[in-house]
Structure 1
Amino acid sequence: MQGASPGSRGRCESSMVCCLPHRWSCREEENTEPGVNHHTANTHYIQCQPLQEPSSKMVFYTCGPNEAMVVSGFCRSPPVMIAGGRVFVLPCVQKIQRISLNTLTLNVKSEKVYTRHGVPISVTGIAQVKIQGQNKEMLAAACQMFLGKSENEVAHIALETLEGHQRAIMAHMTVEEIYKDRQKFSEQVFKVASSDLVNMGISVVSYTLKDIHDDQGYLVSLGKARTAQVQKDARIGEAVAKRDAGIKEAEAQQAKVSSQYVNEIEMAKAQRDYELKKASYDLEVNARKAESDLAYQLQVAKTKQKIEEQKVQVQVVERTQQIQLQDQEIQRKEKELEARIKKPADAERYRLEKIAEAERMRLITEAEAEAESIKVKGEARAYAVEVKARADAEQMAKKAEAFQEYQDAAIVDMLLEKLPEIVDEISKPLTEVKKIKLISSGGSEVGASKITGEVLDILNRLPDTVERLTGVSINQSGYRKPGRMS
């Protein structure tokens, strides 16, 4: 709280003195000593001093944004105006009043007002007005004029003012101007009324011309004349439009036909050029295609030839590799045979040589021993052999003499002695035969007699065989061995 200097008189230095919850009390005293804040007339003054507890008589008020509060009275000079806020008020010594800031809709009617040309018309406008709470000066002016009045009273005052300005504007304009240029009329009413109402703290939010009518039929006649003119212009315009449309249509049709013929000619030329170029291109394409086909076939033949050459080379390589593999396999087998046969054979040969050497030494030793034994025995037998040999020699000499005497008969005799052995060897294979099948050709012998005949036939051929071998004929020798029948 701001205090005044001692001896000061008049109003409080601050509008918030004694109305805020700052724990101060005010009392009137008759004293010559200076007070803390305010002085009244003569020797009476108001002394404000702090309290220990807040006053229970102070009231807290609030209002919305569409309303303003005016606090007047003790310590409120000039009155405090609060639009959409809060304030503390001391009952009995301070007074609070409210004023509405709502927008008011006014239906401004001006009946039978004579315009500039003396034509009476009626105009209805719609205006939106409100007390301006943001501007302190306009709010103060509105409070001075309308505080304590209702919204209807404020609306009536504003309506009368607007209606007067609307009539004045109508008197300075013609019916045609008002009817045709409503925007201009609305702007003039808004401008003139706003400058007048602002002095009352009222601002005109908007103004719109709603309706225009008259009882004399002026607007209807004006509309009929205009309608007739418009209809005439419309008919003329329609006829002109139809004429122009026909001309334009004929010109368009002519241009269309001409364009169509030109287009057909151009299309024919284009088709001709296309066919010529296509034929030329087809000829070139076919030639290139034939060349390409020949080149392709030639390339295919070359490729096949190269493939065959590659196959031959591959076969040669494969054959070479097979030969190499066979050589390697032969070498491997030779080495394997050498390792598996030759080396063991050499070892076995060496072993056998050693065994043979040992056996030879043993045999030599045994032979030497036996030779010594045989030598003794041989000397004993030598005499016997010598005697036997002498006897055999004499026998052989006698046989020789007999062979010399008998010649072929001796040879035949020796052959006859060996003949049983020969027959035995000839018939020996028959003893090993398990099964014999004999086939008769008719009229010949079969069975055992056939086999016997075959054997006898072989024996009958024996003399011929002996004759071919020795040159001696057994049948012609005439030799008869003793004891044998002739």
Structure 2
Amino acid sequence: MDLSWLIPIVMTAGGVVALIALVAVLARNLKKVPPNKVLVFYGRKHTTEPRHDADGKVIEAGGTKGFQVVTGGSKWKWPILEDCQEMDMASFQMKPQLKKIPNKDGVLVNVDAVASCKIKSEQSSLSAAVERFLGKTTQEIHAMVLEILEGQLRAVIGTMTVEQLIQDRETLNTRVKAEAMSELEKLGVGIDILNIQSINDDQGYIEALGKKRTAEVVRDAAIGKAEAEAETKKRSTTAAKDADVLAANNQAMTFEADKDRDVKKATYDALIKAEQARAEQAGPMAKAEAEQKVVVQQVKVDEERERANIEVQKQKALVAAQAEEAKTVVPARKAAEALVATAEGAKKKLVIDAEGNRDAAVATAEGEQKKLVIESEGNRDAAINAATAEQKKRVLESEGARDAEINAATAQGQKLELEGKGKAASIRVIAEAEVYQAREVGKAQADAIEAKLLAEAKGILAKAEAYAKMDQRGALQLILEKLPSILEQLPAIVEAAAKPMSAIDKVVMIGSDPNAPAKFAGNVPVFLAQLFETTKNLGFDLSGALKKLGIDATAISGPDAPKVD
């Protein structure tokens, strides 16, 4: 029987079985680690790198270990060569309960606490926990941690009084947690939460303390309540008293304010009336002052106008005189100069003729002399002497004739010159007299106009200066001259000033001042005094004017009437 056909089937089946076995081995040796557990592999040597903190300090030395702790993920376990165990990392709760533990005072107290602990995740803590807890049950691990917690709690309680244990629970928790963690860290265990739930004793010591404290609290509460009620009553009565005083003060202040308001209103009304009277009187005064200023300015304008006219007249007279001089004096001066020139020409002609005659006579005498010399050399000396004498005689005669002719010509020229100068001077004198007459007439007219205007201006200025320098008597005299026209307007002024008073039907006095009616009645003299003083400040002494008429103003207004500034 041929079974060769079974070989492929057997081989296929064997391959499938081998594949299934391989998958099973792989599945069994690929270990997965949940997040609340760690898996410890052991059986082979494992090399670890040193671990450093943030400052570079070595917190765990590297080296070779016989185990490896895997937290989370998965890892392959080599069959036969390696094995592994799980260790629980979940948090567990411990409840230390201590009975009759003596404290610092020797009081036996009972303490109940609860703590939440777990194995820490750091590699150093995991290594310490693996070395101490691997292979132990959860109950054994919990019992070991519980013993450490109870021991540290017992040690801390032994250093504190009952009052500290009761009142300072936070310090107790902090100290127990710190002391226990220093010991548990050696096991790789940490404390997340630690709470002291209760502290009591079997002798009732803590309860007695509580009752005492409760009594003190009740006592303090009663005292505080009584003090609060007393303070409340005190403050309420004080507030009521203050409210009454404040109400009375407010009412008094209201009355005072009403009084001040009424007094100020009356004062303001009087001031208003005084200002109105001052304004009514100021109008005519301002008008008079304005008219006075206008007159003064007009006088100044007239003065300037007349001065300008005088200058114009002077210029006209000067131009007329210059024109007259050009018309009369210049031709006369030219005629005189022509006569003088003619006389000088005639004079020069006569002089020239006389000199010619003299030269001719001299030449003739010299010829005669030469002739006598030639004819009579023997009697030369006599002849010469005779000739010389004759010559001298003739020369003297010719010089005498010449000098006579020159003198005659000079006299004639001087005569003509004097006649020309006389005529020219006469003409000049006549022309200058006419010009002077015209100038003097114009100047006299201008001086007359100027004198008239200056006299008028000086009169107005003198009047203005007299007004400015006028004393009270002069002003009073001037006012008395104007008094009839002012008195015609006085009834209307008095009626306007007294009109507001006529609208008062009755006067109600508010306040406790017994002198209020007398003070109010005194407002009338005050008003009259203010009226007299106001008119006096405006330049019109009404009291003085009334006194001139036989009316005593001081008897109306009173001697103590206030002044109005």
Structure 1 or 2: more helix by fraction: 2
Greater RCO between the two (CA within 8 Å, min separation 6)? 2
Name the TM-score, length of structure 1 as normaliser: 0.43
